[in-house]
Structure 1
Amino acid sequence: MNLQVILGNFALILFVAMCVTGVIWFLDIFYFAKQRRAAADVALAAFDGRNAKLASEGIKTDNTSRHAIEAALLRQPTWIEYSGSFFPVIALVFFLRSFLYEPFKIPSSSMVPTLVIGDLILVNKFTYGIRLPVLNKKIIDVGDPQRGDVMVFKYPKDMSQDYIKRVIGVPGDKITYENKRLTVNDKPVTYTAKGDYLEDEGLEYHQLFDENLANVQHQILNNKNKRTIELGQVDNFPNREACVYSYEKFTCIVPEGNYFMMGDNRDNSLDSRYWGFVPNKNIVGKAFFVWMNLGNWKRIGGIH
């Protein structure tokens, strides 16, 4: 699933804006402000000199305009004033979304019923380690993704796109998906039927199940009219040799430093079954909270 932020590569845009406004703010403090002060001192000295001469000639002077002259000469140009006002705000937003929490919007249905179209979610950026903004390079190791986590990551085939799926397999795991049932390291995942689910986007019913993956219980959807795997949609991807495919079954051994991801809407999700594993370097963070859905306020709450 493609996650859309407001403006394309927003992290890069924010970084550039912070740098530009920060440089202007810095230059104003240490250079432009001093220039304005020096110009004001020269003008005020001339003003005081003229007044002193007039006073010596017995002419009454008006000093009220002195303050207006000083204020006008010390006033920041509009472009500097706006930069100085925006810089701390932009810097704070950049820090928060780079190291703490980042918002995303869900635009499609591959994670239904866990996440639906229009959900605005928060992603924890430090659960899986502290990473450099824009470059997304880990500099401090905090933790690793666990089976059952809902994770945001850079799509391996296009690093400019952010995707969201559920972690099914961690490095070294043997993942088998047969007749729409998961087996992890030869241990079958347990399922409980919950009846039918009407998917709003396709206006069709799906089978709803509770899936217990590594003690993380969540809901998934199956479409009984679709095959377990559509072989024609499977790409050639790195470590493709680690997987064996047929129409009703596939098995993959997750390589070191990689993760196997699947959508909860199992038959309406292009995921690791089709485009391969997610390298550790692609990780963005852990999705943990729906903070808004303008079409359904009841959606607000934690992500399981």
Structure 2
Amino acid sequence: MIKKLIKHKNIILIIITILIIRSFIIEPFRIPSGSMIPTLLPGDFILVNKFCYGIKIPIINKKILNINKPQKGDIIVFIHKNKKKYIKRIIGIEGDKLEYKNKKLKINNIKIKNKKLSKNIDIDKMFIIETVIYKEFLTPQKEYNIQKYENIENYNTDIEIEIPKNSFFVMGDNRDNSEDSRAWGFVNEKDLIGKAIIIWGSIDLDNYIIRKDRIIKKIK
């Protein structure tokens, strides 16, 4: 009887520990779409650091402790206006004047540099798609890869805005195939869940094959 009680007690402690970790420290998230290609692929399983920006009370989502401010270049998971969880990259923070025209990005009147890395031509249902991978230099400390479709016009309206207080302008790394702040506006700081930090596993959803090269991979 005593052994059973101890066993049940240990199980309860394990469950409580998992709930605490998930609520305050680390939360798993699966990449559902291709909006963050080439950085994140559909079928990637990632971990989100919920502690790095501060501590929030679950359910009511009220912050009780500030730790770090989100930075330009961070990949964040947040609650969208439709109550679903989204993942995008922070491109601009409060006070930034941001301009996006003809697929060119400017922040505070400074053109963000891109370096072409590769180009690939695919034929999809008799339509030619020119996919180009660039390295984007958002800040002197932050660089990462993005993807553009060179022969497809930007589907979003060109924009020129100033980012308000406690808000962020986010975009997908797959610039021509991402519904983001260009379409539906800013992300408010209160809606942040956390920062994406690591890919712990990945499955090719078309072929149901494990992508071994993406296991335990730091997210840039």
Give TM class, smaller chain.
Answer: 0.7 to 0.9
Q: 1:292 corresponds to which letter in structure 2?
A: G
Task: Please identify which structure carries the higher strand content.
Answer: 2
Go from structure 1 to structure 2 and tell me whether the alpha carbon gap of 1:214 and 1:264 turns closer, same or farther (over 3 Å shift): same
Q: Work out whether residues 130 and 151 of structure 2, in 8 Å CA contact, stay in contact via their aligned partners in 1.
A: no
Corresponding residue of 2:34: 109
Report the aligned-residue RMSD. Answer: 2.4
Residue 113 of structure 1: how far off its partner (Å): 0.2
- Which is greater in Rg? 1
The equivalences for 1:1-304 within 5 A come to: 84=9, 86-155=11-80, 157-159=81-83, 161-197=84-120, 204-215=129-140, 216-230=142-156, 247=157, 249-294=158-203, 295-300=210-215, 301-304=217-220
Residue 86 of structure 1: how far off its partner (Å): 3.6
Q: Work out whether residues 129 and 151 of structure 2, in 8 Å CA contact, stay in contact via their aligned partners in 1.
A: no
Q: 2:31 corresponds to which letter in structure 1?
A: I
Q: 1:256 corresponds to which letter in structure 2?
A: K
Percent identity between the two aligned chains:
39
Residue 197 of structure 1: how far off its partner (Å): 4.6
Go from structure 1 to structure 2 and tell me whether the alpha carbon gap of 1:170 and 1:268 turns closer, same or farther (over 3 Å shift): same
Aligned mates of 1:217, 1:297 — CA distance in 2: 24
Q: 1:283 corresponds to which letter in structure 2?
A: L
Structure 2 residue runs of 5 or longer lacking an equivalent are 204-209
Q: 2:195 corresponds to which letter in structure 1?
A: K
Residue 87 of structure 1: how far off its partner (Å): 2.1
Q: Secondary structure at the match of 1:270?
A: coil
Q: Secondary structure at the match of 2:176?
A: helix
Structure scoring higher RCO (CA < 8 A, sep ≥ 6) equals 2
Q: 2:68 corresponds to which letter in structure 1?
A: G
Q: Which runs of 4+ in 1 moved over 3 A?
A: 80-86, 201-205
Go from structure 1 to structure 2 and tell me whether the alpha carbon gap of 1:133 and 1:198 turns closer, same or farther (over 3 Å shift): farther
How many residues are aligned here?
209
Q: Secondary structure at the match of 1:286?
A: strand
Q: Provide, for residues 229-250 of structure 1, a one-character-per-residue CA deviation record: whole Å limited to 9, x for no partner.
A: 43xxxxxxxxxxxxxxxx4x31
Go from structure 1 to structure 2 and tell me whether the alpha carbon gap of 1:298 and 1:205 turns closer, same or farther (over 3 Å shift): farther
Aligned mates of 2:20, 2:3 — CA distance in 1: 30
Structure 1 residue runs of 5 or longer lacking an equivalent are 1-70, 231-246
Report the TM-score, using the length of structure 2 for normalisation.
Answer: 0.87
Report the TM-score, using the length of structure 1 for normalisation.
Answer: 0.64
Aligned mates of 1:81, 1:142 — CA distance in 2: 38
Q: Secondary structure at the match of 1:273?
A: helix
Q: Secondary structure at the match of 1:146?
A: coil
Go from structure 1 to structure 2 and tell me whether the alpha carbon gap of 1:92 and 1:183 turns closer, same or farther (over 3 Å shift): same
Corresponding residue of 1:16: none
Corresponding residue of 2:207: none
Aligned mates of 1:224, 1:123 — CA distance in 2: 32
Aligned mates of 1:167, 1:262 — CA distance in 2: 7
Q: Provide, for residues 78-101 of structure 1, a one-character-per-residue CA deviation record: whole Å limited to 9, x for no partner.
A: xx9996454212211111112211
Go from structure 1 to structure 2 and tell me whether the alpha carbon gap of 1:89 and 1:197 turns closer, same or farther (over 3 Å shift): farther
